[in-house]
């Protein structure tokens, strides 16, 4: 299974942009790049996903490197409610199961 590598933790100031990196050098052609986040004492929630092109939605943007070996989740203006663990996951389009890593714990300072 393709694996992802993320920093253990990151800090941001409120209302500033946050760039959360993810490396996935062994990604295969059928792997989608998914991002989920987990707020304290809650189940994970979907943030965004992409295959090859950059993606935007109301929560975030996803920038995917041209060789697909890395990606960056961008929160345009961090709020205190964005403090969470962010997981970058590769999901195979053929079998759909997801393997979580340890994720990045984002702290947002007021």
Partner 1 sequence: NAGVTQTPKFQVLKTGQSMTLQCAQDMNHEYMSWYRQDPGMGLRLIHYSVGAGITDQGEVPNGYNVSRSTTEDFPLRLLSAAPSQTSVYFCASSLRGEGAYEQYFGPGTRLTVT
Report the interface residues with partner 1, using CB under 8 A. 32, 34, 36, 42-46, 49, 51, 85, 87, 91, 93-103
Nearer to partner 1, 80 or 93 (CB): 93
Element (H or E) spanning 37, and its range?
strand 31-38
Shortest reach from residue 47's CB to partner 1, in Å: 9
Nearer to partner 1, 58 or 96 (CB): 96
Length of the chain: 110
Shortest reach from residue 43's CB to partner 1, in Å: 3
Angstrom distances, CA of residue 24 to CA of 1, 5, 41, 62:
11, 7, 28, 14
Q: Which residue is it, tokens 């079998």?
A: 95
């Amino acid at each position: 299974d393709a694996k992802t590598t993320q920093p253990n933790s990151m800090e941001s100031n409120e209302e500033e942009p946050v760039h959360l990196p993810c490396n996935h050098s062994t990604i295969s052609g059928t792997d989608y790049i998914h991002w989920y986040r987990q707020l304290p004492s809650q189940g994970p929630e979907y943030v965004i996903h992409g295959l090859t092109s950059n993606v935007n939605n109301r929560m975030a943007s996803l920038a995917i490197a041209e060789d697909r070996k890395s990606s960056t989740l961008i929160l345009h203006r961090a709020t205190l409610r964005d403090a969470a663990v962010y997981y970058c996951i590769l999901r195979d389009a053929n079998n759909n199961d997801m393997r979580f890593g340890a994720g990045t714990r984002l702290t947002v300072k007021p």
